[in-house]
């Protein structure tokens, strides 16, 4: 992602797929402030070259040259004598409108999360890690990251396939959703960055309403700090610890050095994942029940007039909703308050490999959803073969590979829906 100046650009999922979608690496352009300014200038509506030039500190020739580069990268397209983004770029002005358009959806999802909190909290108190960390220490990790980011988004994806909602996406959006946000007082964002280390993993919650630079995450995974963290986790650290780990408050002195942030072991993950998945599925059902409001917001903000497919917008809205739900749960006392000036270690946790939640529990949950989708939408010989192969891999302990195969099946259904919807919409437009 880019934090240069006023706009942040996000891809959701595997960032290596951006080249496949755009035919080029869009970050090469979008790190440059001049290109960001142009994308922001046409965020609310398509404009002519002269209109764009009046909004940015470039002359018309410079604007024209940069527009050509943006078009070659698939980020901008020409409509008559005007230029429009191919992805939604949510200006701070439109972010303010979004809050009012999504008010009922946010309230509906928030009330569902509140109903699920006691179940998730009870599961936490059954974990070994609860003997060392309180609910207040981990509440934002469990609810914000596990329930609302990892599990909720995954469940929404499966439910959308079940309901046939990917017919409204473009095939390019299926490859990887991509959107931009203007930084401003009306803007919200929530997400989690994760990195697997040699003997464990590390994640950090990030959000625009937390006054802390995301660069801390990249610093933590510096080679010297990474190796020290892994050694401390295994109890094998010898010698002087890097001072930066102490400054970041990731470790503390106690008969040597010990972690100052939670480390989720497999037993913790098994207990938490089951409760989180059940809760997130019900929260996702609540979100899908309000999908028409997301559709309406896409139309009300006029993106449907120049952007093909709703997919990038949907992904952005889901993150926007997550951020507001977490923010309001905190301000209303359902979750601990988000500190205005958090410690450097706020919202950071470690996990044992292979992942921060239990892959076996995730697999079992997704398998049921895939089988439900197959029952509703039919199946092919290839899909049946892939499903059988996935089950075989899981039975011999290759959980990660088995889960990836299930996700490939899900992606295939998404692409079928998107391609058929794209063709149907184009046929309809031609008459």
Quick one: tokens of 78?
């020409």
Position 213 scores a pLDDT of 65
Domains and CATH numbers, the chain: 7-86 (1.10.10.10), 91-357 (no CATH), 358-426 (no CATH)
CB 106, CB 286: distance < 8 Å? no
Q: Which residue do the tokens 């397209």 mark?
A: 77
Mean pLDDT of 170-198: 89
Position 429 scores a pLDDT of 40
Question: Nearest-CA neighbor of 18 among 178, 154, 153, 168?
Answer: 178
Position 211 scores a pLDDT of 57
Integer Cα distance of 12 and 18 in angstroms:
10
**Mean pLDDT across the chain, nearest whole number?**
91
Q: What is the dihedral of CA 362, 364, 366, 367, to 10 degrees?
A: 150
159 has a pLDDT exceeding 60: yes
Position 206 scores a pLDDT of 78
Integer Cα distance of 112 and 281 in angstroms:
11
Question: Nearest-CA neighbor of 179 among 326, 411, 419, 1?
Answer: 1
The torsion angles phi and psi of 251, rounded to 5 degrees, stand at -135, 165
Position 424 scores a pLDDT of 64
Q: Which residue do the tokens 């295939």 mark?
A: 412
- What 3-state DSSP class applies to 308? coil
**CA dist list (Å): 124 to 34, 115, 270, 272, 316:** 48, 16, 11, 6, 30
pLDDT-derived band at 212, boundaries 50, 70, 90: low
Mode of pairing for the β-strands spanning 76-79 and 89-90: unpaired
Integer Cα distance of 270 and 291 in angstroms:
31
Position 1 scores a pLDDT of 37
Mean pLDDT of 35-45: 95
For the segment 353-409, what is each residue's pLDDT rounded down to a tens digit?
999 999 999 999 999 999 999 999 999 899 999 999 999 999 999 999 999 999 999
Position 214 scores a pLDDT of 66
Share of the chain above pLDDT 90, in %: 72
Question: Nearest-CA neighbor of 295 among 286, 284, 303, 306?
Answer: 303
Position 269 scores a pLDDT of 97
Question: Nearest-CA neighbor of 351 among 192, 191, 214?
Answer: 192
Maximum distance among all Cα pairs of the chain, rounded to whole angstroms? 77
Question: Nearest-CA neighbor of 329 among 191, 144, 189?
Answer: 144
């Amino acid at each position: 992602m880019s934090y240069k100046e006023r706009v942040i650009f996000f891809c959701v999922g595997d960032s290596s797929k951006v080249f496949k979608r755009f035919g080029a690496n869009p970050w090469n352009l979008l790190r440059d402030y001049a290109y960001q300014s142009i994308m922001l200038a046409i965020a609310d509506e398509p404009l002519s070259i002269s209109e764009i030039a009046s909004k940015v500190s470039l002359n018309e020739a410079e604007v024209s040259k940069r527009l050509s580069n943006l078009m070659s990268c698939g980020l901008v397209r020409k409509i008559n004598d005007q230029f429009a983004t191919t992805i939604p770029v949510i200006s701070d002005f439109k972010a303010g409108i979004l809050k009012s358009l999504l008010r009922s959806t946010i309230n509906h999802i928030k009330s569902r999360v509140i109903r699920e909190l006691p179940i998730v909290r009870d599961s936490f108190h059954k974990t070994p890690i609860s003997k060392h960390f309180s609910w207040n220490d981990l509440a934002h990790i469990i609810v914000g990251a596990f329930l609302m980011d990892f599990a909720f988004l995954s469940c929404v994806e499966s439910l959308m396939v079940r309901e046939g909602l990917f017919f409204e996406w473009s095939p390019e959006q299926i490859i990887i959703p991509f959107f931009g946000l203007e930084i401003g007082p009306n803007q919200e964002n929530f997400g989690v960055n994760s990195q697997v280390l040699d003997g464990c993993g590390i994640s950090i919650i990030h959000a625009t309403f937390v006054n802390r630079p995301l660069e801390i995450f990249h610093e933590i995974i510096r080679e010297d700090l990474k190796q020290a963290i892994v050694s401390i986790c295994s109890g094998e650290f010898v010698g002087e610890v890097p001072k930066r780990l102490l400054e970041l408050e990731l470790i503390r002195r106690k008969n040597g050095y010990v972690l100052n942030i939670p480390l989720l072991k497999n037993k913790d993950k098994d207990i938490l994942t089951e409760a989180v998945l059940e809760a997130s599925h019900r929260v996702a059902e609540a979100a899908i029940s309000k999908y028409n409001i997301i559709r309406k917001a896409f139309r009300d903000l006029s993106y449907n007039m120049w952007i093909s497919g709703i997919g990038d917008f949907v992904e952005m809205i889901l993150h926007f909703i997550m951020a507001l739900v977490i923010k309001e749960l905190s301000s209303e006392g359902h979750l601990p308050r988000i500190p205005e000036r958090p410690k450097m270690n706020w919202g950071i946790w470690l996990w044992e490999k292979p992942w921060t939640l239990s892959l076996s529990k995730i697999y079992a949950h997704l398998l049921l959803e895939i089988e439900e989708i197959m029952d509703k939408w039919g199946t092919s010989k290839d899909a049946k073969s892939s499903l059988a192969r996935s089950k075989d891999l899981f039975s011999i302990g290759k959980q990660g590979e088995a889960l990836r195969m299930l996700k490939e099946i899900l992606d295939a259904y998404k692409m079928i829906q998107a391609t058929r919807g794209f063709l149907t919409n184009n046929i309809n437009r031609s008459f």
